[in-house]
Amino acid sequence: MASKINADVEEPVLRVTRGSKRKLTSPIIKHEDGETSNVAKQSHKSLHLLSSTKLELLQAENSGVQICEKNANSVTSHVPNPTKTLKSKQTVKQMDKESHEKDSQGNGKQEKIKKEKKAKAEKTDTGKKVSKNDVPKPVMVIPEIIIPSNKPIIKREDGPSPWNGTVKYDNKIFLGAHISAAGGLENAITNSLNIGGTSFALFLKNQRQWVSKPMEDVTVERFKAACATHNFLPHLILPHGSYLMNCGSSDPVILAKSRANLLDEVQRCERLGILYYNIHPGSSCGKGTREEAIKSIADSINWVHDQTPDSKVTVVLENMCRQGNTIGGDFSDLAEIIQQVFDQSRIGVCLDTCHALAAGYDLATAHGFDSFLEEFERVVGFRYLVAVHLNDSEGELGCHRDRHASIGKGKIGLEGFRRIVNCPRFRDIPVVLETPFISDEHYKKEILLLKSLANSDTVCA
């Protein structure tokens, strides 16, 4: 439908578009040559067409056609004023010129941002300023590994620690949990206190990565200071090893990485003043015999002991659940590893209650628990027991599945844990929860629950 023009008053004329019947109120401008233009239509085009609209406005002014005051706002709201635009451009150019001059003098905005970024990049925890190139990148170094042989056997003495005089024996049960050390290793001590723990486990570095940055001296100082402040003795702290490590592997690359990682973490424990380092023994992965895997694990420990001759750190073997080709489900596995280690004063065992039930040791009954203790003493010996992981089991007896449950919520049950808490064999060592993490408050409630199971002659630290 053709547009109608009211040339006398230059008011917008209603137009109806075909199909939509939408009313348009765009002003129509009549030129001397009789042509009409819809300014709003021109202004709705893309930004790169604004120059043509400006040209039409200039032509309209030159031709003597005036835009009525009533429609001025409608036009100028879509089409920028050329004079204002020119002034704005001049202002921007002036600001850019001034900013450039300031930057060249070293006090401009861009220069200020650069200085702030540089200062942030150079700042370290110690307050010293170093360049990015000075910050060491974490690299995994695989040292030359020569397994020692024919060395004299050093027997382990009775008690929680072979180092007489370094451990105070209180004949108490020290309950705790595996605690987060996020933000700094010293935070694990605070987190343990918050749940009412008197012992704790933690990871010393990312447990799912081979490579980690070196431990800084300030980290060591803060951790030792926190231990001293809150009276956490070294034999009540149980670091857990990386889940990637497999010292029983027949793969030479995996084995070399595992041994390098084992050495690194033992050295970290030594620097922190911790006595124990807990690991899963390993697995043959079905590519070698059980005997070969056991020898490989013992060789790995012997090599680490040989690399750290003056260390007091004990490598702690954890019993497993007999899942697949893992080593440590039978107490005989642990005994054979220990027998092949030369310095047996630096080898120990951590008993995991969930793993034991899943492996077939019946901790849910009094008879089963007594048999469990008797076999461990006969096959391994309680002089090697240095820690306990307290976990209920989702799986049934002998299920061979590593599925932890909250205390009293699994197949061991509260009566099973009553026997464990009151067992004299579990005194003066870290007895830590590894139950599914819900919250720190939940851990606190579980520790209180365990304490409520203690008899009158059992003292909970």
Going by the DSSP 8-state scheme, the letter that residue 430 receives in this structure is E
Residue in the structure block whose two tokens are 């039978």: 330
176 C-beta neighbours (distance < 10 Å), count? 26
Contact 278, 295 (CB under 8 A): no
What's the CA gap between 325 and 287, in Å, rounded? 9
Contact 176, 198 (CB under 8 A): yes
What's the CA gap between 165 and 382, in Å, rounded? 20
- The set of catalytic residues is 208, 240, 243, 280, 318, 352, 355, 389, 402, 404, 434
75 C-beta neighbours (distance < 10 Å), count? 20
Contact 461, 430 (CB under 8 A): no
Residue in the structure block whose two tokens are 């020119």: 86
Contact 387, 175 (CB under 8 A): no
What's the CA gap between 385 and 278, in Å, rounded? 12
Q: 326 forms bridges with which residues in the sheet?
A: 283
Which run of H or E residues covers position 306?
helix 290-307
What's the CA gap between 195 and 451, in Å, rounded? 13
